Amino acid sequence: MAIQAGERLPNIELQVMGSNGPEKVQTGDLFAGKRVVLFAVPGAFTPTCSAAHLPGFVVDADKLKAKGVDSIICTSVNDTFVMDAWGKAHNAEQIVMLADGLAEFAKAVGLTQDRTASQMGIRSQRYAMIVNDGVVEVLNIDEKGLETTSSEAILAAL
C-alpha cells in the first residue's frame, strides 16, 4: 500500500553524487527539519521525464523556494552516475538528484510499478509530494501524464 498524507517517510540509505563520487545519504537526514518537494520519475533520460517533468521543476525551482520550500529532490530507480548526468544535462543545479538504484525507497513507500515487460524492471511510479519534517503533507500520483505531479500542480498545492 502506498504511503499516505500524514505518514512519516521511511529512513532509507540512498546515494547522491558528491564532489569525489557517489555518497551515501539517509533520507531521514534529507527531510529532517525541512519543507521538501520530492518528485519521482520512472526513469532518467526517458521521454516524458526528460521533456517535461524534470525541466518543469528546474524552471520553477525559484518559485517553489519562494513559497517556503527548502529543498527539491528528484528520485528515480537509476544509479548515481545516471542521475548525476541527467541532472547536469538539464541544468538541475537546484535539485538534489537522488539515486534509488535498487528501488528500496520506491518499495518502502509503496510506489513501484513493474516495467519488466518493456525491459525496465521494477521502477518508481510517477509521483510528487510535499514533505514537512519527514511527514507527507501532499501526495499526488499520475498513472499517465503530468496532471497532478508537475511543478505547476505542486506550486498550486503549496
User: Does residue 151 contact residue 90 with C-beta atoms inside 8 Å?
Assistant: no
What integer pLDDT is reported at residue 147 of this predicted model?
A: 94
- Three-state SS string across the chain, please? CCCCCCCECCCCEEEEEECCEEEEEEHHHHHCCCEEEEEEECCCCCHHHHHHHHHHHHHCHHHHHHCCCCEEEEEECCCHHHHHHHHHHCCCCCEEEEECCCCHHHHHCCCEEEEHHHCCEEEECEEEEEEECCEEEEEEEECCCCCCCCHHHHHHHC
Tens of pLDDT along 12-71? 999 999 999 999 999 999 999 999 999 999 999 988 888 889 999 999 999 999 999 999
What integer pLDDT is reported at residue 102 of this predicted model?
A: 96
**13-157 has which CATH code?**
3.40.30.10
Task: Indicate whether 152 pLDDT > 90.
Answer: yes
Task: Indicate whether 79 pLDDT > 90.
Answer: yes
State the catalytic residues. 49
Tens of pLDDT along 98-141? 999 999 999 999 999 998 888 888 999 999 999 999 999 999 99
What integer pLDDT is reported at residue 47 of this predicted model?
A: 81
